[in-house]
Structure 1
Amino acid sequence: MADMHATARPRSNAARICTILAFVFAVVAIFVAPLLFGIAGLVLGIVGAVLGDKPLGWYAAAASVVGAIIGMALVAALLN
């Protein structure tokens, strides 16, 4: 019998925790320290995707980048 999970890693709790934290950091990046939380969310999203939470981890990484961009735009608008 062939191994069904030879190419895909099974999702672990660590992967799901990293993905959830990445989404939380994406939202926090809009309001508080966009560069810091955006990069942290990006890294956690990638780690979550690599650990097995494939589509959601990549979405979290992208959301963190978008959150950081929106946060930086908001800061620039408020300072001008």
Structure 2
Amino acid sequence: MADMHATARPRSSAARICTIVAFVFAVLAIFVSPLIFGLLGVILGIVGAVLGDKPLGWYAAIASVVGAVIGAVLVAALLN
């Protein structure tokens, strides 16, 4: 019998590490530098999703975008 899930990649530890670091960068994007950490978080979230950590990797990428937007709003509010 052929395996029906042969095209799905198994989750690797590299995928999980990329996803966790993307969530950390999402938080850092709020407090430190929205542009740098937001962009790095999106990239690592996508890499984590492609490597096999599908739902959590995409959530990390979205969290990084949200963190970058919140961080940019906070920077704009503090500078005005």
Q: TM-score, normalised by structure 2?
A: 0.97
Counterpart residue number, 2:13: 13
Question: Per-residue CA shift, 1:21-54, capped at 9, x if unaligned?
Answer: 0000000000001000000000000000000000
How far apart, CA to CA, are the structure 2 residues paired with 1:48 and 1:37? 16
Counterpart residue number, 2:54: 54
Counterpart residue number, 2:30: 30
- Paired AA for residue 54 in structure 1: K
Task: Provide the secondary structure at the position in 2 that maps to 1:44.
Answer: helix
Q: TM-score, normalised by structure 1?
A: 0.97
Tell me the C-alpha RMSD between the 2 structures.
Answer: 0.7
Structure 1 consecutive aligned stretches of length 4 or more whose deviation exceeds 4 Å: none
- Paired AA for residue 67 in structure 1: G
- Paired AA for residue 68 in structure 1: A
- Paired AA for residue 41 in structure 1: G
Structure 1 unaligned runs (5+)?
none
How far apart, CA to CA, are the structure 1 residues paired with 2:15 and 2:54? 9
Counterpart residue number, 2:67: 67
- Paired AA for residue 65 in structure 2: V
- Paired AA for residue 38 in structure 2: G
